[in-house]
Structure 1
Amino acid sequence: MKHSDRKELFNHVESLLGQYCNGCFVHKHFKQEGGRRTAHRFCISECTVGEKLQEYGKKLI
């Protein structure tokens, strides 16, 4: 993968995190109710933004 492609993917990831994940109410709720692990599990397995981030991560490998 070219350096410019990787940089573009990282920019997409940063954009998604900044737009949707920072200050996410759902993550905050799960963190308060079930702890960090529960909140993280939700983000990885059920959140559509988390799924998109995983797709970007697989492309970076």
Structure 2
Amino acid sequence: MKNQDILASLDQIQKHYCQDCFLHKQLKMENGRRYAHRFCITQCTVGEKIKEYGQKLCKKQNA
């Protein structure tokens, strides 16, 4: 997979799932921006998928 393909996939995932995420907005209101962001990175399945793509990009840069 090329870097452009990975970035396009990331953009598509983020637009489709994250842009209007009710859970993120609710967590942000109740607990703050940092808590909501941390939740997305560590517990959200979409966030885990985004992390996988990020790791692929890092591997390609280091190779």
The TM-score, its normalising length taken from structure 2, stands at 0.89
Gaps of 5+ in 1: none
Q: What is the identity, as a one-letter code, of the residue corresponding to 1:44?
A: I
The TM-score, its normalising length taken from structure 1, stands at 0.92
- Structure 1 stretches of 4+ with a deviation exceeding 6 A read none
Aligned residues: 58
Q: 2:23 aligned with 1:22, yes or no?
A: no
**SS of the residue 2:2 aligns to:** helix
Match of 1:9 among 6, 13, 26: 6
Gaps of 5+ in 2: 59-63
Aligned counterpart, 1:38: 35
